[in-house]
Amino acid sequence: MKKNISLTEKLDIIKMIKEGISVKKSATKLNKSIHTIYNIKRNQSNIIDYFVQANVPEIIGKFKRMSKPQCENVEKQLYNWFAEQRSHDNSITEETLIVKAKSISKNDLSNERKNCEFSNGW
């Protein structure tokens, strides 16, 4: 049965490889195929970059896929606004987030906004 590996697990595998543990031993220890370990080893720079550039590393570690948002600039600004609102104990609904995202997108001068879609789906 195929099982996706979280980003945190991938980072653990990269750490094992950097510590000098062989691919075969890593695969056996983690109950993963050797092919999976080699794929992670081959893509380690992309995996590390994705984790480092994340807005919220403690949440992103649970992700199983590495996908970038359609409107990266809008998402960063929205997250910063959200974090500020939550630091003041303000309650934020999904509708409020969508309205704020649309507002940020309208003020965004980059070409990103043409591709932005706003929904309550995560």
Whole-number pLDDT of residue 68: 65
pLDDT above 60 for 112: no
Whole-number pLDDT of residue 98: 83
For the chain, what is the HEC assignment? CCCCCCHHHHHHHHHHHHCCCCHHHHHHHHCCCHHHHHHHHHCHHHHHHHHHCCCCHHHHCCCCCCCCCCCHHHHHHHHHHHHHHHHCCCCCCHHHHHHHHHHHHHHCCCHHHHHCCCCCCC
Task: Using only the alpha carbons of the chain, give its radius of gyration.
Answer: 18
pLDDT digits (tens, 9 = 90+) for 63-96: 555 566 667 777 778 878 888 888 888 888 888 8
Predicted TM-score (pTM) of the model is: 0.52
The domain spans of the chain are 7-60, 72-115
Whole-number pLDDT of residue 56: 59
Whole-number pLDDT of residue 38: 93
pLDDT digits (tens, 9 = 90+) for 17-58: 999 999 999 999 988 899 999 999 998 888 888 777 766 555
Cβ atoms of residues 44 and 12 within 8 Å: no
pLDDT above 70 for 61: no
